[in-house]
Amino acid sequence: MKTNEYIESGILELYVFGKLTPAEEQEVVARAAQDPAIQQELSRIEIAFEQYALAYGIPPPPGTLAGILRETGFGSGGAATDGVTTPGAAPVPPSNSGSWWSYLFAGLLIASAVGAYFYNNELNEREGELTERTEQLATLQNDCDEVRAENARLESTLSVFRNTDYSNIKMNATGKYEENAYIASVFYNPNDRTAYLDPLSLPQPPTGKQYQLWAIVNGAPVDMGVFDTQINTDTLLQQVPYIAEAQAFAVTIEDEGGVESPTLEEMIVVGNVS
Partner 1 sequence: MSDSTTTMQAGEEQLVSLLQSRNDKGLILLYENYSAALYHIVLRIVRREETAQEVLQDTFVKIWKQSATYDAGKGRLFTWMSRIAKNTAIDKTRSKNFKASAKTDSMENFVSDNTTFSTDLRLGDSGLRRVVGQLDEKYHEIIDYLYFKDFTQSETSKALGIPLGTVKSRSRLALKALRALLQNEQFTLPLFFILSGF
Q: Interface with partner 1 includes 57 (CB under 8 A)?
A: yes
Select from 37, 108, 109, 137 the one that contacts partner 1 (CB under 8 A): 109
We find the least distance from the C-beta atom of residue 153 to partner 1, in angstroms, to be 14
We find the least distance from the C-beta atom of residue 178 to partner 1, in angstroms, to be 36
Q: What is the 3-state secondary structure (H, E, C) of the chain?
A: CCHHHHHHCCHHHHHHCCCCCHHHHHHHHHHHHHCHHHHHHHHHHHHHHHHHHHHCCCCCCCCHHHHHHHHCCCCCCCHHHCCCCCCCCCCCCCCCCCCHHHHHHHHHHHHHHHHHHHHHHHHHHHHHHHHHHHHHHHHHHHHHHHHHHHHHHHHHHHHHHHCCCCEEEEEEECHHHHHHCCEEEEEEECCCCEEEEECCCCCCCCCCEEEEEEEEECCEEEEEEEECCCCCHHHCCEEECCCCCCCEEEEEEEECCCCCCCCHHHEEEEEECC
Q: Interface with partner 1 includes 9 (CB under 8 A)?
A: yes
Question: Binding pattern to partner 1, positions 10-39, x when CB under 8 A?
Answer: xx-xx-xxxx---------x---x------
Segment 76 to 95, residues that bind partner 1, using CB under 8 A: 77-78, 81, 85, 87-88, 90, 92-93, 95
* Closer Cβ to partner 1, 6 or 214, answer by number: 6
Q: Interface with partner 1 includes 164 (CB under 8 A)?
A: no
Q: Interface with partner 1 includes 98 (CB under 8 A)?
A: no
Q: Interface with partner 1 includes 111 (CB under 8 A)?
A: no
Q: Which residues bind partner 1 (CB under 8 A)?
A: 8-11, 13-14, 16-19, 29, 33, 42-61, 63-65, 67-69, 71-72, 74, 77-78, 81, 85, 87-88, 90, 92-93, 95-96, 106, 109-110, 113, 116-117, 120-121, 124, 127-128, 131-132, 134-135, 138-139, 142
